[in-house]
């Protein structure tokens, strides 16, 4: 019998951009993650998933530590650009890859769960916007 699944999609905390690692969280970003974890304590979270970029990983680790659950990094949750943006060149292959990641996330997190669970997914703003648009 299938269970209920509640999934919280969260954007990482504020970060200091860095070309190599994507950038670490700022003090504000760490505080945002701690406050978010406090709000999520009322749920019975079973796992925190996150992008493998530093800012998402740090946010997820802060939240998971407070909730006493594990973190699983998934490269499919990295930042994407699934559509054209005026003034920015994004190849068709990159846009298609972004849309494929959205479809993968829908299949992984938004299908019927085999058991009841609450999940947290820490990723990026464009990813969440594209996911919501795709669902709608």
Task: State the 10-residue block means of pLDDT for the chain, 136 residues long.
Answer: 85 87 90 97 94 96 97 95 85 92 95 86 96 93
Does the pTM exceed 0.85?
yes
What is the spatial distance between Cα 102 and Cα 7, in angstroms, rounded to a whole number? 15
pLDDT of res. 4: 86
Q: Are strands 70-73 and 5-11 parallel, antiparallel or unpaired?
A: unpaired
| CA-wise closest residue to 97 among 84, 82, 112, 107 | 82
* pLDDT at residue number 3: 74
Query: Measured in whole angstroms, how far is the alpha carbon of residue 47 from the centre of its chain?
Result: 12
CB atoms within 10 A of CB 123: 27
Instruction: State the pLDDT at residue 65.
Output: 97
Alpha helices by DSSP H, listed for 41-91, are: 54-67
Give the pLDDT score at 83. Answer: 83
Residue 19, pLDDT score:
66
């Amino acid at each position: 019998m299938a269970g209920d699944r509640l999934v919280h999609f969260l954007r990482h905390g504020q970060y200091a951009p860095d070309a190599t690692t994507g950038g670490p969280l700022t003090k504000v970003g760490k505080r945002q993650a701690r406050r978010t974890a406090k709000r999520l304590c009322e749920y019975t979270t079973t796992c925190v998933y996150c992008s493998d970029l530093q800012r998402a990983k740090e946010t997820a680790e802060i939240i998971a530590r407070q909730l006493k659950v594990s973190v699983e990094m998934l490269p499919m949750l990295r930042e994407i650009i699934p559509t054209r943006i005026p003034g920015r060149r994004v190849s068709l292959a990159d846009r298609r890859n972004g849309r494929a990641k959205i479809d993968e996330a829908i299949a992984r997190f938004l299908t019927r769960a085999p058991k009841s669970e609450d999940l947290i997914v820490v990723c990026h703003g464009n990813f969440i916007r594209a996911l919501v648009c795709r669902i709608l």
